[in-house]
A and B are shown apart, each in its own frame.
Chain A
């Protein structure tokens, strides 16, 4: 317990650094699909189709939500792996 404190270590700093980087990458995708595909580029994307629906509209009403769910899934898997790799996993 006391050792954990003094061992506030390289590996924990590395853990935090990689955590922040992962979150930054995932949140860029988050912003891209919602603010990008769903709002700013909606007119442009509407010339393409998914099924019978205009793509931009689909991103705004369904696609972005699917991507959000997938982003959290990726986050959960990668963070669990990182926890183990850096030895900070709870038992």
Chain B
């Protein structure tokens, strides 16, 4: 069978599995819809959290980001895992003890304030929508790349599947599909990684391959990569560029610290991650599932830097100064590998022979400019590709302008994961597996986010704020309806992507860091924290962060204006500090919270007596 047939079979089978699980685990009550009846075992919750957290960007994009960014890629690795330590120790156990369903529930009840609840709801919806748009787009891209269907059709198929199991099953359906999706995605990521690692370093464990040797054990992998990078004129791979150390470059250490911190705190503050810890039976299960979650995430996150380093080494070694065409080549000449042509056809690679020598030169800088930043190939009147002198695909001169530097090669970073099966010459079913894995990653994250949106509308807005007397049955239908609308909204954003999705993600993390995290932490660890402090803290944190990001991302602010050299990506850390500072100061000068609230805080600090008991002590909103 060819790769495409395998892709159809494996993607089809995995979808059938997800739908089967959805029918088996459909939700019968709001408790099941919101938090899976609090009956999820910690191991399963850990897997579900892993799938929930790891998106198409983690699965397809991260290894590529690292392979191009080198040392700087560490901010994502540390940021997106370090947040789980904060979650495990500062949030998860106490929020589980508090019970209920959502993050706005905690904020609203702890501070006895509808205003605080509504601010939290709006943040939750904004953060989740930003994220989900990118996921649906990811679904469409995977479909179009592997199955050669239109991106729009791909988004519609993906939407249909998510619609079915999220709307029917709620959290219960999502949890068990995510468990299956985690297994699919980790298997799909690991199999090619193992073979690439074997091929390059003779070590089957990719994590160890990164610290292993290449070229028959003569050179360390990373030494080789550092050497290749310096020969070609790129920054060192394994250390910050010299310019940082001299504080001349655009990013100094302070900015790297700020970005890492913002990603960590943002991760810990993301509502779709936090809510997963509400689904387990006991407080100690919440701690345990944080452990499983990080372990399962670490399996991919420690393999990704290895895959990135392997991919980059391989790509440079195989293509550098290689001839595109075998015709007229001398015996000593290197010819491009077969996979080069197939990935050229998908637009992930492109070559402009600037100096006309028929060989590929790879140097720093963009090889060409175009509106999308991606190659646009020239096609003839019959739609067939137009080829150059050596057989390479020619770029359309109307939309692509070659730059005047020496670099001739365009490499899309996604290739580092997508092309692995072919580079390692693995059988065709592995290609299908990678497609199924990418879809599993995108769908599982999309479903988790949609649930946050639907819960925020039906529970936090309708039930707790607007119409407290609504019956459970009606509430469940409102939740399903909101999930349905959410899916359709996300699909539209996937089909007609606004140009600023990538920029807005910085905003999502920044807002999560500067809004939820401080008020939840203070709500648990400082009994004296009160309503005025929480609201003023949240509002000032959000305002400072979003204005900074909007100014530098959309309103034309330039790098020179960065405060203390901190980029918009890292400013969430500053927003968080502002939130803490203002919140604590205002709380000091205003009245302490009521006896009842203080007892609630004492109660959530202690595991014993979880379940329904404490719900009675919570004052009505």
Proximity bits, B605-621, A CB within 8 Å = 1, else 0: 11111100100000000
Which residues of A (43-76) have their CB < 8 Å from a CB of B?
Answer: 43, 46, 50-54, 56-58, 60-62, 64-66, 68-69, 71-73, 75-76
Q: Which of chain A's residues have a CB closer than 8 A to the CB of B260?
A: 34-35, 38-39
Q: Which of chain B's residues have a CB closer than 8 A to the CB of A61?
A: 66, 73-74, 77, 210, 305
Checking B89, B93, B298, B602 against A65 with a beta-carbon cut-off of 8 angstroms, the contacting residue is B298
Checking B240, B282, B291, B607 against A43 with a beta-carbon cut-off of 8 angstroms, the contacting residue is B240
Are A68 and B85 touching (Cβ within 8 A)? yes
Q: How many angstroms between the C-alpha atoms of A15 and B239 in the bound complex? A: 43
Are A80 and B608 touching (Cβ within 8 A)? no
Which residues of B (330-379) have their CB < 8 Å from a CB of A?
Answer: none
Which of B84, B207, B290, B291 has the most C-beta atoms of chain A within 10 angstroms of its own C-beta?
B291
Are B239 and A57 touching (Cβ within 8 A)? yes
Q: Is B287 an interface residue (CB 8 A)?
A: yes
Which residues of A (19-56) have their CB < 8 Å from a CB of B?
Answer: 19-20, 23, 26-27, 30, 34-35, 38-40, 42-43, 46, 50-54, 56
Question: A6 to chain B: closest CB distance in Å?
Answer: 11
Q: How many angstroms between the C-alpha atoms of A74 and B64 in the bound complex? A: 33
Known: A39-B257, A52-B212, A69-B294. A34 touches B82 (CB 8 A): yes
Q: Is B402 an interface residue (CB 8 A)?
A: no
Q: Which of chain B's residues have a CB closer than 8 A to the CB of A66?
A: 298, 302
Are A38 and B78 touching (Cβ within 8 A)? yes
Question: B81 to chain A: closest CB distance in Å?
Answer: 5
Q: Which of chain B's residues have a CB closer than 8 A to the CB of A43?
A: 239-240, 245
Are B89 and A23 touching (Cβ within 8 A)? yes
Known: A65-B81, A73-B291. A42 touches B71 (CB 8 A): yes
Are A40 and B253 touching (Cβ within 8 A)? yes
Which of B81, B221, B223 has the most C-beta atoms of chain A within 10 angstroms of its own C-beta?
B81
Q: Is B88 an interface residue (CB 8 A)?
A: yes
Q: How many angstroms between the C-alpha atoms of A85 and B525 in the bound complex? A: 22
Question: A28 to chain B: closest CB distance in Å?
Answer: 11
Checking A1, A54, A90 against B239 with a beta-carbon cut-off of 8 angstroms, the contacting residue is A54
Chain A: residues with Cβ within 8 Å of the partner, total of 49
Query: A-B contact count, CB below 8 Å?
Result: 157
Are B240 and A75 touching (Cβ within 8 A)? no
Which residues of B (235-290) have their CB < 8 Å from a CB of A?
Answer: 238-240, 245, 253, 256-257, 260-261, 264, 282-284, 287-288, 290
Q: Which of chain B's residues have a CB closer than 8 A to the CB of A62?
A: 77, 207, 210, 302, 305
Checking B213, B291, B305, B525 against A69 with a beta-carbon cut-off of 8 angstroms, the contacting residue is B291
Known: A23-B89, A52-B212. A89 touches B239 (CB 8 A): no
Q: How many angstroms between the C-alpha atoms of A30 and B261 in the bound complex? A: 12
Which of A1, A20, A57, A75 has the most C-beta atoms of chain B within 10 angstroms of its own C-beta?
A57
Are B238 and A46 touching (Cβ within 8 A)? yes
- Chain B binding surface, main DSSP class: helix
Q: How many angstroms between the C-alpha atoms of A27 and B265 in the bound complex? A: 13
Q: How many angstroms between the C-alpha atoms of A30 and B84 in the bound complex? A: 11
Q: How many angstroms between the C-alpha atoms of A34 and B50 in the bound complex? A: 21
Q: Is B17 an interface residue (CB 8 A)?
A: no
Known: A39-B257, A76-B287, A90-B283. A51 touches B245 (CB 8 A): no
Question: A59 to chain B: closest CB distance in Å?
Answer: 9
Are B245 and A53 touching (Cβ within 8 A)? no
Are A72 and B88 touching (Cβ within 8 A)? yes
Are B298 and A53 touching (Cβ within 8 A)? no
Are A65 and B78 touching (Cβ within 8 A)? yes
Are A50 and B73 touching (Cβ within 8 A)? no
Q: Which of chain A's residues have a CB closer than 8 A to the CB of B256?
A: 39
Are B222 and A54 touching (Cβ within 8 A)? yes
Checking B77, B287, B602 against A8 with a beta-carbon cut-off of 8 angstroms, the contacting residue is B602
Q: Which of chain A's residues have a CB closer than 8 A to the CB of B525?
A: 20
Question: B94 to chain A: closest CB distance in Å?
Answer: 10
Q: Which of chain B's residues have a CB closer than 8 A to the CB of A56?
A: 238-239
Are A69 and B295 touching (Cβ within 8 A)? yes
Q: Which residue of B lies closest to A74 (CB)?
A: B291
Q: Is B495 an interface residue (CB 8 A)?
A: no
Q: Which of chain A's residues have a CB closer than 8 A to the CB of B210?
A: 53, 58, 61-62
Which of B213, B287, B610 has the most C-beta atoms of chain A within 10 angstroms of its own C-beta?
B287
Q: Which residue of B lies closest to A1 (CB)?
A: B613
Q: Which residue of B lies closest to A61 (CB)?
A: B305
Q: Which of chain A's residues have a CB closer than 8 A to the CB of B78?
A: 34, 38, 60, 64-65
Q: Which of chain A's residues have a CB closer than 8 A to the CB of B85?
A: 26-27, 30, 68, 71-72
Q: How many angstroms between the C-alpha atoms of A14 and B237 in the bound complex? A: 49
Query: Ordered nearest first, which 10 A-B pairs have the shortest CB separation?
Result: A52-B220, A51-B211, A60-B74, A57-B238, A53-B211, A61-B305, A88-B608, A72-B291, A23-B89, A72-B88
* Extra 6 A-B pairs, beta carbons < 8 Å, given A61-B77, A72-B294, A80-B284: A4-B608, A53-B211, A64-B77, A68-B298, A88-B608, A90-B283
A-side residues, CB < 8 A to B, are: 1, 4-5, 8, 12, 15-16, 19-20, 23, 26-27, 30, 34-35, 38-40, 42-43, 46, 50-54, 56-58, 60-62, 64-66, 68-69, 71-73, 75-76, 79-80, 83, 87-90
| 15 A-B pairs whose Cβ atoms sit less than 8 Å apart in the complex | A4-B608, A12-B605, A15-B606, A27-B86, A34-B82, A38-B78, A39-B256, A53-B238, A56-B239, A69-B291, A75-B89, A76-B287, A80-B287, A83-B608, A89-B607
